Amino acid sequence: MAGVDTDRFRTLLLEEREKVERALGNLHDENPGSIEDEEEETFDNHLGDAATITFDRELDSTLEENSGRMLAAIDEALKRLEEGTFGTCARCGQPIAEARLEAMPYATKCIDCKRLEERG
């Protein structure tokens, strides 16, 4: 579509991609040993702490899952840049607001469609 600075968004996407890949790499690097060790220390009457540890662990895997999904989304966006469909809402075909693309260059839908979707 006209008006989208594809070079700028390509740069944004590639930067974002690098960030996500680095975050993914960090997740694997710190692979925080065995959860048993951490839980042993907090076992007596510190259920709150144990819950926090479990929560952190779940957050990690969610993060990893999200990162994987985001990488895919970024690759898709790069493909759309090549195809010339970047910045067009996948649902209604209207242009996606540039401010939204700047914040989320891998967005596939305009804010209205996204809201509709989230409302279920």
Could you say which residues in the range 89-118 bind Zn ion, by CB under 5 A? 89, 91-92, 110, 113
Minimum Å gap between C-beta 79 and Zn ion is 19
Minimum Å gap between C-beta 92 and Zn ion is 3
Return the number of the residue (92 or 103) whose C-beta is nearest Zn ion.
92
Return the number of the residue (52 or 94) whose C-beta is nearest Zn ion.
94
Query: Which of the ranges 5-13, 42-50, 60-68, 87-95 carries the binding residues for Zn ion, by CB under 5 A?
Result: 87-95
Question: In angstroms, rounded to a whole number, what is the distance separating the alpha carbons of residues 114 and 108?
Answer: 9
Minimum Å gap between C-beta 106 and Zn ion is 15
DSSP letters of the chain? -TT--HHHHHHHHHHHHHHHHHHHHHHHHT----HHHHHHHTTTT-HHHHHHHHHHHHHHHHHHHHHHHHHHHHHHHHHHHHHT-TTB-TTT-PBPPHHHHHH-TT--S-HHHHHHHHH-
Size of the site for Zn ion (CB under 5 A): 5
Q: Which positions touch Zn ion (CB under 5 A)?
A: 89, 91-92, 110, 113
